[in-house]
Structure 1
Amino acid sequence: MQRPFLTTNGRSLDAIEVRGLRADCIVGVYPEERRTVQTLQVDLALFLDTRAAAAGAGLEASLDYARLAGEIRFLLESCRFRLLETAAEALCSYILAPPTADAPHAQVEAVSVRLTKPGALGGDAVPSLEIHRSREEMGFPVEEKKWGRVDVLHASQGCGIYRLRIAPGASIPTHVHQAMEERELILGSNLLLQGRPVAPGSAFRWPKDLPHRYDNPAQVEGTILCVDRPAFLPHDEIEVAHEGELPWVEPVPFYPAAERAR
């Protein structure tokens, strides 16, 4: 992949590459593409400073590419895009977002994303798109909530991508959705969902009208990666009263087993 020449504090940046990641996604403008999942190939080049990690600070001073690969697959499988350009922009925004306290890693300063649609032209040719973005050119709006904060990472015609950051000791109250389709990936390690502990890398799809809630008993923020289709509708976050045990939905793992146990 092409690498933009970048420096930080007068020093060159290092690059971590992830090549050949495959994910199923709805992406395209033609009717068949709107109905049928197709496989995308994702190639990433991540520009950051790994000097502290090399000197012994550990993985938290670099980037856990096993977790990142799972998060990219979750986003592509959960979202709906009409254009590769929109999909690539959404991935850049997520990768360049500032790290959170419950999932620390080195700040990625710039990223190159290439998306390839191997089957789009029936074998006659293979189309792809490659874009380059830096952290300085991205915006990361933050919305304040009673229970914490929301990082608005992407919002388009088909979907919205958000990081829900639940404050220590706070809860997202029991609620349902009647219009939005919502999928969520647990990023932190201390959250309770439906009153139960949940492992990082666990993904949940919430059927409409199914009540769900999160609690954060920890001393640091607890973070969830959320995809809403369509983008978030405030009137569709409907708080409900619920007595007894909340219904459980089996998670789908997006991190390797060793990563979920960390």
Structure 2
Amino acid sequence: MDTIFIEQLGVDTIIGVYDWERASPQRVYIDLDIGFYTRDAAADDDVAQTLDYKAVADRVAEFVTAAQFKLVETLAEETARVLLAEFDVPQVAVRINKPGALPQAAGVGVRIFRQREA
């Protein structure tokens, strides 16, 4: 299995448990590692045989912008669900980084790994 990745996809969303966090959108950064077989696309040098990175990034940005969750864990889980349901991929790792959540840290968040159920 190969991995197609998208790093540091910045998206503004309503996220957090405190009222002040829910008053306006905050920027989160999303990393995606998407399991995908790239051998056929590489052999034929054919973009039609690979995963459309732009379509993935656009869909994730659209979903996250519209979402309103309290937990980054929920945001990661639902993002993985969207990717597995809407794209022909067998597995995905989603990392959500919420910068500024702790003043002494560059960011906090969660990384999850999910597979398509057989």
TM over 0.5: yes
Residue 114 in structure 1 maps to residue 95 in structure 2: yes
Residue 94 in structure 1 maps to residue 54 in structure 2: no
Gaps of 5+ in 1: 1-12, 100-106, 138-262
SS in 2 for 1:94: helix
Query: Contact 1:38/1:119 (CA < 8 Å) preserved in 2?
Result: no
Partner of 1:71: 59
Superposed CA offset, 1:129-177 (max 9, x none): 000000127xxxxxxxxxxxxxxxxxxxxxxxxxxxxxxxxxxxxxxxx
User: Larger helix proportion, structure 1 or 2?
Assistant: 2
Q: CA RMSD in A?
A: 1.5
SS in 1 for 2:82: helix
Gaps of 5+ in 2: none
SS in 2 for 1:129: strand
Q: After the TM superposition, which residues 1-262 of structure 1 pair with which residues of structure 2 at under 5 Å, given as runs? A: 13-56=1-44, 58-99=46-87, 107-121=88-102, 123-125=103-105, 126-136=107-117
**Structure 1 residues 118 and 80 mapped into 2: Cα distance closer, same or farther (>3 Å)?**
same
Query: Contact 1:28/1:34 (CA < 8 Å) preserved in 2?
Result: yes
Superposed CA offset, 1:96-135 (max 9, x none): 1254xxxxxxx211110000001222x3112110000001
Greater relative CO, 1 or 2 (CA 8 Å, sep 6+): 2
SS in 1 for 2:60: helix
Superposed CA offset, 1:12-47 (max 9, x none): x00011111100000111111111210001011000
Distance 1:98 1:26 in 2: 23
**Structure 1 residues 27 and 48 mapped into 2: Cα distance closer, same or farther (>3 Å)?**
same
Distance 1:15 1:23 in 2: 22
SS in 2 for 1:22: strand
**1:68 partner letter:** V
Distance 1:19 1:57 in 2: 23
4+ long deviations beyond 6 Å: none
Distance 1:120 1:61 in 2: 40
Distance 2:4 2:53 in 1: 8
Distance 2:40 2:101 in 1: 42
**1:40 partner letter:** V
**2:25 partner letter:** V
Distance 2:45 2:63 in 1: 29
